């Protein structure tokens, strides 16, 4: 798939994601537009069973509606102690889509029920191993082609939010190599280690091969 032009459309209304995509594609000279620029388009119902299903549905639906290539992401948090939940339901874990505070509170409530009293000091703060997952799909309605990449980041869920950067579950996602949560990292640091950063690098490598 070969992209032309200087604008990339991303199928999201999440301002945090728009910021990260804009930062990632700036070195290529591409500006990023999002669903904020197309308010007439409805939200796509994310009813797939996998991150891949949801990302492809969003990219194809918006791409077909606009007649232009569209990049979509579906991402979430998979917590070992909760059997991989909240997974594809991460953004609406507490009920309302995109309520970060409520989602984080519910996650801590669910994990607090599993804590043991004989844990070490460090483990008392680290409630469970977890993994962030991101799937990106770039769809071109003119050719019907799509490119998909997947990125992951491993960490721990900490017992209380730390940091005011990022979005979603970032304040609870602790990275031992940094001694910080994802929300305490700079944007460059986050791009280097995050699930979305890994998926974006794979995508740009694939696109560069066609340019």
Domain segments of the chain as ranges: 7-209
- CA–CA gap between residue 175 and residue 183 (Å, rounded): 10
* Full strand arrangement of the beta sheet holding 126-140: 31-33, 7-10, 70-79, 126-140, 145-158, 173-175, 180-181
| Nearest C-alpha neighbor of 11 from the set 44, 49, 50, 40 | 44
Among residues 74, 85, 140, 154, which one is catalytic?
74
What's the pTM? 0.89
- CA–CA gap between residue 20 and residue 57 (Å, rounded): 21
- CA–CA gap between residue 134 and residue 50 (Å, rounded): 11
What's the N-to-C CA distance of the chain in angstroms?
9
Which pLDDT score, from 0 to 100, does residue 117 have?
A: 41
pLDDT tier for residue 16 given thresholds of 50, 70 and 90: confident
13 assigned to a ligand binding site: yes
167 assigned to a ligand binding site: yes
17 assigned to a ligand binding site: yes
CATH number, span 7-209: 3.90.950.10
3-class SS at 78? strand
- CA–CA gap between residue 164 and residue 183 (Å, rounded): 6
Q: Is 74 tagged catalytic?
A: yes
pLDDT tier for residue 8 given thresholds of 50, 70 and 90: confident
Q: Is the pLDDT of residue 122 over 80?
A: no
Q: What is the pLDDT of residues 178-193, one digit of tens each?
A: 999 999 999 899 989 9
Q: Is the pLDDT of residue 139 over 60?
A: yes
More confident residue, 85 or 165: 85
Which pLDDT score, from 0 to 100, does residue 211 have?
A: 55
């Amino acid at each position: 798939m070969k992209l032309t032009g200087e604008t990339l459309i991303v199928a999201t209304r999440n301002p945090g994601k728009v910021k990260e995509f804009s930062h990632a594609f700036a070195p290529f000279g591409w500006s990023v537009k999002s669903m904020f620029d197309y308010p007439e388009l409805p939200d796509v119902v994310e009813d797939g069973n996998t991150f891949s299903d949801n990302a492809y549905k969003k990219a194809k639906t918006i791409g077909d509606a606009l007649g232009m290539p569209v990049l979509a992401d579906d991402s979430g948090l998979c917590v070992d102690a909760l059997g991989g939940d909240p997974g594809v339901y991460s953004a609406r874990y507490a009920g309302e889509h995109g309520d970060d505070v409520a989602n984080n509170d519910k996650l801590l409530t669910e994990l607090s029920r599993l804590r043991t009293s004989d844990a070490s000091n460090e483990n008392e703060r680290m409630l469970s191993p977890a993994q962030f997952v991101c799937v990106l799909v770039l769809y071109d309605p003119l050719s019907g082609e799509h490119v998909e990449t997947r990125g992951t980041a491993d960490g721990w869920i900490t017992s209380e939010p730390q940091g005011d950067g990022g979005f979603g579950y970032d304040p609870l996602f602790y990275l031992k190599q940094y001694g910080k949560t994802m929300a305490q990292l700079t944007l460059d640091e986050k791009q280097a280690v995050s699930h979305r950063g890994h998926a974006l690098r794979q995508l740009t490598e694939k696109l560069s091969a066609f340019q």
